[in-house]
Amino acid sequence: MKQARQKTPGAAVLTMDAAAIDRALRRIAHEIVERNPQLTHVVLAGIPSRGVEIAQRIANFIHEIEKVSVETGVIDVAMHRDDVGTRSELPIVRESKLPLPLEERTVIVVDDVLYTGRTVRAAMDAISSFGRPARIQLAVLIDRGHRELPIRPDYVGKNLPTSGSEKVQVQLQETDHEPDEVRLEK
Amino acid sequence: MTTRWTRKDLLGLRELSADEINFILETADAFKQVGTREIKKVPALRGKTLVNFFVEPSTRTRTSFELAALRLSADVINLSATSSSLTKGETLKDTARNLEALHADILVLRHSSAGAPQFLANRLKASVINAGDGAHEHPTQALLDLYTIREKRGNIAGLRVAILGDILFSRVARSNIFGLLKLGAHVTLVGPSTLIPREFEKLGVQVSHKIDEVLPNADVVNLLRIQHERQRREYFPGIGEYIRLFGLTKERAKLLKPDCLIMHPGPINRGVEIDSVVADGLHSVILDQVTNGLAVRMAVLYLCGGISA
């Protein structure tokens, strides 16, 4: 789950810089190529907003590596969450865009941080309302642990052990207008 | 999108900011997409109960709210004036309190008295959505009109919108005027002087009684239904006279710009305010309005009903 970005430089530990993020996403691209011989059947579906950007970057790396253009999409999870009405702030809904039909395709859900797994559950629920993909995989930049559902990622940029009180902050040039960076805030 | 939605009720467009209106329209974009999915239902309001309470008759608005609520997985109860105890002398407040005792989360109210939704919103924990109150406001109709204009023309600011017909009695006109002006459109009201009091100019709109001068410059023509059931004779010489002076006939339609949009909240009186060929013609976006009404109402229910009490 994304947290509101807070600027408290004193308490933040830099976990990944731009070069590290770049290497991690490039490695994920290689792993996706290895595991999916039929790249033309793959859809990289990003969860707004940073997941969408990460999906695009992975697609660019796959194109560099294999010269294949993998399809990308957007999967909104806000209207599929199971906690509407219990949170003080209502999640903003965004338009989903997926190439159709999904049958025969492998949909790779892409997000910045994997935490409880509830967002990913909502994403799988949303995808199934578009059709029945052959398989769904999961790619995340950061896995910070603390799962509350039986969900595990297929592709991980970095495993980051955290405590529940810490916050993982991902910032990307395109979405946050700040240099790429992952910070762990106490 | 930086605005956050903080209202439990939607009572009118007069009290909304331009940012809030745009936020609803952007939220509606996401819900419009849901209508194109194989499974057109999302769990956003699962476990919530919506009561459609229509003290005045309505089919189209009620079914639109009902389908919107069902697509959000809410449970829906429909009540009309005759199926409620209003006819047995129960007051509106007591009826509403009974609904609340059933743990209704959202109350969609259509009422013949202006201010009835406000009255209940102030007294109930449930979200109250105004589905038309007297001659006051009909906010979701105006929102779906704004959504349709924005969808077809990309933007609303700077467009010339003519609202034609029975303005005096029209809550649709009032909500449209508030919404259009906030989003930067130029609004001209056209119709017989008995149905457009000069008072309306104070809102910041222009008033014209000559349709043929307005049509050539209009980017949007929003026709209002002539409400026979409300009309008293002194306002209105006769249908034939009205058609001759203000009807959107196929001859008059030739005055329109090629990309002008013709809108109508329905139900249309073919041959009265609009000719059949015009209602079904290329300019007409009347059925898009119906589709968009669903998306806009889903957005409103999600935003108002999703806020934690």
**ipTM confidence score:** 0.81
- Is A95 within 8 Å of B44 when comparing Cβ atoms? no
**CA dihedral of residues B152, B221, B201, B155 (deg, nearest 10):** 10
Contact B18, B74 (CB under 8 A): no
What chain B residue is nearest to A83 in terms of C-alpha separation?
B44
Query: Which of B5, B42, B45, B46 to mutate against chain A (most A CBs within 10 Å)?
Result: B42
Q: What is the pLDDT of residues A69-96, one digit of tens each?
A: 999 999 999 999 877 666 667 888 999 9
Contacts of B36 by beta carbon, 8 Å cutoff, 6+ apart? none
- pLDDT tens digit sequence for B38-63: 999 999 999 999 999 998 888 899 99
Residues of A in contact with B32 (CB under 8 A): 95
Which residue among B5, B32, B42 sits closest to A79, beta carbon to beta carbon? B42
Closest B-chain CA to A87: B308
For residue A90, give the DSSP letter.
P
**A79, A87, A96 member nearest B44 (Cβ):** A79
Residue B255: strand, helix, or coil: coil
pLDDT surpasses 80 at B146:
yes
Q: What is the pLDDT of residue A84?
A: 64
Summarised one tens digit per residue, pLDDT across range B15-27 is 999 999 999 999 9
Mutation site for B-interface testing, chosen from A75, A79, A87, A94 by largest number of B Cβ within 10 Å:
A79
Q: Do A95 and B29 touch (CB under 8 A)?
A: yes
Is the Cα torsion angle B272, B277, B278, B279 positive or negative in sign?
A: positive
In eight-state DSSP terms, residue B274 is: B
Characterise A76 by phi-psi region: left (phi > 0), alpha (psi -120 to 50), beta (else): beta
Residues 60-79 of B with CB under 8 A from A: 72
